[in-house]
Amino acid sequence: MQRLLIVDGHAYAYRAFYAIRSLNSPTGRPTNAIYGFVKMLAKMRAALKPTHLIVVWDGGLSEKRQAALPDYKAQRPEMPTDLGSQLDEIGRYLVAAGIASFCEDGVEADDYIGRVAIEAQARGLAVVIASSDKDFMQLVGPGIGLLNPNDKSESVWTAAQVEAKTGVRPDQIIDWLSLLGDAVDNIPGVPGVGPKTATGLLVQFGSIDEIYRRIAEVRPERIQQALIKSEVEVRRNQALVRLDASVGKGIDWEALAERPADLNGLAGLYREWGFRSLLAEVLTLTQRQPELI
């Protein structure tokens, strides 16, 4: 079966940056995020053996979400300068490696990842989304799995793992997150409702619509009253949390297919960055595959 690996670019760049605290090129430029990103991506490709691959980057915040909640993601700190300076270099690596990437102004990576995953599933590809973002749990199901780098088992999550983690099904994740809110995205939830309470409500009632239809049955009363007072915010949260698969330009499926890397280009980059072990691997490949030199 053909398999598409979709990588949340900024998530892995940040992860690589903080995993390797100090690494510099021969000229003194920081390269820790580049090196970590290259190694992480290589490990995923070796384990999953995708036939198609794309790295998706954030292009800014959704205007619709900002209009609905002006403080949406407003608390996020600026990207560290030493990380920002490495993103273009990671882009150079992806070009040389023959790996597709996507970034568009005003398009959040989560939304475009959702679009690619849904369209790929419809085309019969098995999809793996590599990200620690809990929003992607709403997509998990037949044909779409989630590789969470925070999960030390390194397994691809199915609906069973999502339910084991949250207590609710993937199709209930939007409602679950709407009740909880999301501190990472600066989305406030229902006061007093934590993960256990949100799960209990959805197990009992099935959905937010049903919770509010049967609000008189909610116990304890303090949760009932909190839900009543927060209904407008909860409904807004559903729109904020739901991935928008209508965004971005059309998908060039041929560009996503695995294709040979520019080994000379990679060798040049690895020399520039001082990645001696990776350079040695590429030089070995050029000797074995002279037609690619």
| pLDDT tens, residue by residue, 131-171 | 999 999 999 999 999 999 999 898 999 999 999 999 999 99
Q: Domain boundary residue among 241, 258, 273?
A: 241
Give per-residue burial for 231-267: e unless 16+ CB within 10 Å, then b. Answer: eebbebbeebbbbbbebbeebebeebebeebebebbb
CATH number at residue 114: 3.40.50.1010
Q: What is the pLDDT of residues 79-129, one digit of tens each?
A: 999 999 999 999 999 999 999 999 999 999 999 999 999 999 999 999 999
pTM greater than 0.85: yes
198: amino acid identity, one letter: A
CA atoms within 13 A on the CB side of 12: 26
Distance CA(26)–CA(3), nearest Å, equals: 38
Residue 138 shares a structural domain with residue 211: no
Q: Taking the CB of residue 210, how many other CB atoms lie within 10 A of it?
A: 15
Name the residue range of residue 208's domain.
Answer: 170-241
If one counts the domains in the chain, the total is 2
The pair of three-digit structure tokens given for residue 224, joined into one six-digit string? 């009932």
Phi, psi of 225 (to 5 degrees): -65, -40
**Nearest CA to 202 among 240, 228, 169?**
169
Residue 137 shares a structural domain with residue 267: yes
Residue 141 shares a structural domain with residue 195: no
Residues 6 or more apart whose Cβ sits within 8 Å of residue 27:
none
